[in-house]
Amino acid sequence: MLEDISQKLESALKKIRGQGKLSEKNISDSIREIRRVLLDADVNYKVAKDFIEKVSQKALGTDVLSSITPGQLITKIIYDELTELLGSSNQELKLNPNGPTIILVVGLQGSGKTTFCGKLAKKFLANGRKPLLVACDIYRPAAIQQLKILGEQVKVPVFSIEEKDARKIAKDSIQFAKEKNCDTIIIDTAGRLHVDEEMMVEVVDIKQIVNPTEILFVVDSMTGQDAVNSAKAFNDKVNFDGIVLTKLDGDSKGGCALSIRAVVGKPIKYSSNGEKLDSIEAFFPERLASRILGKGDVISLVEKAQANFDEDEATKLEEKLKKNKFDFDDFLRQIRMIKKMGSLSSLLSMMPGVGNNMKNANIDDKALVKVEAIISSMTMKERRDPKVLNGSRRLRIAKGSGTSIQDVNRLLKQFGEMQSMVKKMNQKGFFNNMLNNKKLNFN
Amino acid sequence: MNLLNKRRMKLFKNFNFDKLKTGLTKTRQKLFDKISETFTGKAVVDDELIDQVEEILVSSDIGIDLTDKIIDDAKKNFKDEKDRSPQVFINQLKKSLSKYVIGSQEKVVEFDSTKKPYVILIVGVNGAGKTTTIGKLALNYRKSGLKVLICAADTFRAAANEQLDVWAERAGVKIIMKGKNADPSSVAYESVQYAIDNNYDIVLIDTAGRLQTKTNLMEELNKLNRVVKKKLEHAPNETLLVIDGNTGQNGLQQAKEFSKFVNISGLIITKLDGTAKGGIVFQISSQIDVPIKYIGVGEGIEDLQDFDINQFVDAIFNK
């Protein structure tokens, strides 16, 4: 996650907040610190310099006598500048209204192109389109096999032929898509170095042959200063339409996104956050800027929840909570829903305030697996009425779930506490309020 | 086998150093031009010059803190120099830069033939180039006359087995694979057993790419390490962390986190045939105190070279 840069920026910002007014002098101290923060985050040297210049100019030109504190003022200016650099609005993927939409995926070796192609195919399929994956990486051993496996996993056909020329594969895939009635063609290309002239010619040729609706440049978020060079070279050759930022589920600060955005001026369209095939998200510049400033990623969390949280399920749950009938079956359903939404730790880290506090807490997603196993080993009757769980039943459950009797007891105790908490909340009318408040309800 | 009777032996030569040079000098040419320009008509180290040197170093992913240190060092030593020519300042910069790997350099362990099979565990984040590197290592070891076994313990990524299988075939060595989603530790265990039973010299264990923040995957690696050790006490003899040469400051994070779960004994820096400078290795090497063993300079099976600090630093600054 991008918490480190947030922390450092915050410490830089605190200095400013502690001071009464923005003067040229106290701004210059903070600005210098922010510059270091950016460089530490892999923002390109020149981009960082530009950024700093803009920020200081704006900060100095602003009336600091207004009602806001200097800290708020500089936070806002930095946020605005960051957002501006990252692109000021969300950029949707273009679709071709008059024929198949063709998406060409390019990038350096190991940036995550093939995995991204699988994710994109899955997304299109979920949106009711008919995608086709095309395996044009004829160089890396088993790259075609990898795409085929991914295609199988997401239930999307993969086009590949025994062929020594990627151009021919790309060309033939268009006809194949027509025959199979596929409306969206995703072409996975080999990873290549921007200085490899022969390979760059190949990708330019493929572009000319298939005339793609969109060309996406995939970049590893851990990339350092050289990101500007590779991105610029790819952009000069194929004039790509958008950027895909991968491996954002690590702790890289993602500063290269800022650099690339600044140098090629193309929007970042997706961010990719994991090895699961649905860990792909539209990219929202404001959020990355917010995340950098440690404000958490509330919108992202809410949206993620929305996509996965079955509305009926939610209403049912509320009713049960209201009537105090929340049982182990409901609990199990909740756990599975959380798992669908991603890992517990990634969910938590997106919540403002939590990001910093939980950093060292080391949330163990395995704990959920244990709980799930224990509940799964209960009979229906036991799930509905935990009171029947005597010693021998507990022992059976522990054995059946591969846990210890202590684990079972702990869960039962926690569940009991949860039920009594729900009872208290009901007495205070919490859930009545919740039902009336649609915002809380993910509706 | 006479080779194996030697207690320690050097396995690698620089196969084609020119390739590293071409790769590294492509932009280092620009870099040097910059420095030359910088020095034209200047006899003193002023702020403008320092800014330019700072840009050059930071742009190499050396990191701003280390850049400051290196410049301070060089400035200090430059003061005592009588000859204030560009070359002298460059030499000072090189010297202070070299310090950040030189200490560790002495620790480079060469293959130890008394420990057999010699087990090498390869770890790293996704897309760093682990599998390709193993293919190259296998070929080089086999060429040195050793009996090499590859163990496919990346049982997670789609087609990882198939990819490694192709490399094993290219290198002409035996590979042990199990089905997808098999327990990586059990594949490693069986491979080591097989190597013991069949008198292999070297076992190269490929592992799945994992981001250092994924605690459960890091634990899995730690388990694999334990299981291998249980089977063969001196194993793994080496654990090499593969770092993509394009990596920025996160590289240090990677090295630190992996070190918590396995005992990193060396680094391999890949993809140095592009324009990325791989400067993060200075921080990594000095902070976790491990040597850089090899560098990758291409996709060909022979594009793996010994790391040489002088050549590396020279390539950063020289034409």
Does A222 lie at the interface with B, CB-CB under 8 angstroms?
Answer: yes
Does B301 lie at the interface with A, CB-CB under 8 angstroms?
Answer: no
| Lowest mean pLDDT, pick from A260-274, A300-314, B244-258 | A300-314
Does B58 lie at the interface with A, CB-CB under 8 angstroms?
Answer: yes
Q: CB–CB of B246 and A220 under 8 A?
A: yes
CA separation for the pair B68, B63 (Å, rounded): 9
CA distance A36 to chain B (A): 7
Burial degree of B251 (CB within 10 A; 0-12, 13-18, 19+) = buried
* Residues of chain A numbered 109-138 and touching chain B (CB < 8 Å): 109-112
pLDDT for res A83: 77
Q: CB–CB of B158 and A150 under 8 A?
A: yes
Q: CB–CB of A148 and B159 under 8 A?
A: yes
Minimum-distance CB partner of B247 among A1, A222, A364: A222
Q: CB–CB of B127 and A364 under 8 A?
A: no
b/e A106-134 (16+ beta carbons within 10 angstroms → b): bbbbbbbbbbbbbbbbbbbeeeeebbbbb
Does B48 lie at the interface with A, CB-CB under 8 angstroms?
Answer: no
> B292-296 and B266-270: which strand pairing?
parallel
| CA B313 to each of CA B14, B101, B277: distance values in angstroms, whole numbers, following the listed order | 16, 10, 10
Q: Which residue has the tokens 């480079």?
A: B108
φ, ψ of residue A104 to 5 degrees: the values are -100, 125
Q: Going along B19-165, which residue ranges are E strands?
A: 111-112, 118-124, 148-153
Q: CA-CA-CA-CA torsion for A72, A73, A76, A82, nearest 10 degrees?
A: -120
| Overall residue count recorded for chain B in this entry | 319
Q: What is the DSSP letter of B273?
A: T
Q: CB–CB of B126 and A249 under 8 A?
A: no
Q: According to the per-residue pLDDT averaged within each range, which of A301-310, A380-389, B78-87 is highest?
A: A380-389
- Which two tokens mark B176? 């042990």
Which residues have C-beta within 8 Å of that of residue A390, sequence separation ≥ 6?
Answer: none
Does A252 lie at the interface with B, CB-CB under 8 angstroms?
Answer: yes
Which site among A156, A193, A343, A370 would you substitute to test the B interface, given the most B Cβ atoms closer than 10 Å to its Cβ? A193
- Which two tokens mark B236? 């793994």
Q: According to the per-residue pLDDT averaged within each range, which of A30-44, A87-101, A354-368, B222-236 is highest?
A: B222-236
Q: CB–CB of A275 and B156 under 8 A?
A: yes
CA separation for the pair A247, B54 (Å, rounded): 29
CA separation for the pair A425, A364 (Å, rounded): 28
Give B154's contacts in chain A (Cβ within 8 Å).
none
> What average pLDDT does range B231-235 have in this prediction?
94
CA distance B165 to chain A (A): 9
CA distance A35 to chain B (A): 10
Q: What is the DSSP letter of B16?
A: -
Q: CB–CB of B246 and A255 under 8 A?
A: no
Q: How confident is the model at residue A240 (pLDDT cuts 50, 70, 90)?
A: very high
CA distance B275 to chain A (A): 7
Q: CB–CB of B247 and A223 under 8 A?
A: yes
ipTM: 0.86
Q: Going along B8-64, which residue ranges are E strands?
A: 8-9
Amino acid sitting at position B123? V
pLDDT for res B299: 84
Would you call A215 helix, strand, or coil by DSSP?
Answer: strand
pLDDT for res B311: 78
Count the Cβ atoms, other than its own, within 10 Å of residue A25. Answer: 8
Q: Which has the closest alpha carbon to B264: B252, B276, B247, B250?
A: B252
Domains of chain A: 3-86 (1.20.120.140), 101-295 (3.40.50.300), 302-436 (1.10.260.30)
Q: Which has the closest alpha carbon to A15: A58, A71, A67, A81?
A: A71
Q: Which has the closest alpha carbon to A151: A160, A162, A138?
A: A160
- Which two tokens mark B212? 């250092």
Long-range contacts of A414-421 (CB under 8 A, 24+ apart): A415/A328, A415/A331, A415/A386, A416/A386, A418/A326, A419/A324, A419/A326
CA separation for the pair A22, A73 (Å, rounded): 9
Does B244 lie at the interface with A, CB-CB under 8 angstroms?
Answer: yes
| Lowest mean pLDDT, pick from A62-76, A254-268, B168-182, B248-262 | A62-76
- Which two tokens mark B125? 């984040």
CA separation for the pair B241, B266 (Å, rounded): 6
> Under a CB-based contact definition with an 8 Å cutoff, are residues A135 and A147 in contact?
yes
* Residues of chain A numbered 314-373 and touching chain B (CB < 8 Å): 362, 364-366
Which residues have C-beta within 8 Å of that of residue A29, sequence separation ≥ 6?
Answer: A15
pLDDT, tens digit (0-9, with 9 covering 90-100), for B252-298: 999 999 999 999 999 999 999 988 889 999 999 989 999 998 999 98
Does A108 lie at the interface with B, CB-CB under 8 angstroms?
Answer: yes
Burial degree of B167 (CB within 10 A; 0-12, 13-18, 19+) = buried
Q: CB–CB of B216 and A366 under 8 A?
A: yes
Residue B148 pairs with which residues in a beta bridge? B202
Residue of B nearest to A1 (CA): B213
Residue of B nearest to A41 (CA): B249
> Under a CB-based contact definition with an 8 Å cutoff, are residues B317 and B94 in contact?
yes
Mean of pLDDT over chain A: 79
Size of interface A-B (CB pairs under 8 A): 154
Minimum-distance CB partner of A226 among B161, B216, B277: B277
> Under a CB-based contact definition with an 8 Å cutoff, are residues B290 and B266 in contact?
yes
- Which two tokens mark B261? 């779960």
Would you call B169 helix, strand, or coil by DSSP?
Answer: helix
Give A43's contacts in chain B (Cβ within 8 Å).
none
Residue B295 pairs with which residues in a beta bridge? B269, B305
% chain A with pLDDT above 70: 69
Give B129's contacts in chain A (Cβ within 8 Å).
109-110
CA separation for the pair A1, A358 (Å, rounded): 12
Minimum-distance CB partner of A224 among B61, B127, B212: B61
Does A195 lie at the interface with B, CB-CB under 8 angstroms?
Answer: yes
Residue of A nearest to B214 (CA): A250
Task: Report chain B's C-alpha Rg in angstroms.
Answer: 21
This prediction's pTM: 0.74
pLDDT, tens digit (0-9, with 9 covering 90-100), for A41-69: 899 999 989 887 877 777 776 665 444 45
- Which two tokens mark A342? 């991603």
A228 or A364, which is more confident: A228
Give A275's contacts in chain B (Cβ within 8 Å).
126, 156-157
> What average pLDDT does range A293-303 have in this prediction?
45
CA A291 to chain centre: 12
Helix (H) or strand (E) holding B277: none
Q: CB–CB of B59 and A45 under 8 A?
A: yes
A316 or A14, which is more confident: A316
Residue B135 pairs with which residues in a beta bridge? none
Give A140's contacts in chain B (Cβ within 8 Å).
163, 299
Q: Kindly report the CA angle at A165 between A122 and A147, in degrees rounded to 5?
A: 20
| Lowest mean pLDDT, pick from A330-334, A438-442, B233-237 | A438-442
| Lowest mean pLDDT, pick from A101-115, A296-310, B114-128 | A296-310
Q: What is the arrangement of strands in the sheet containing B304-306, beginning at the earlier edge strand?
A: B174-176, B148-153, B202-207, B118-124, B238-244, B266-270, B292-296, B304-306
pLDDT for res B14: 39
| Overall residue count recorded for chain A in this entry | 443
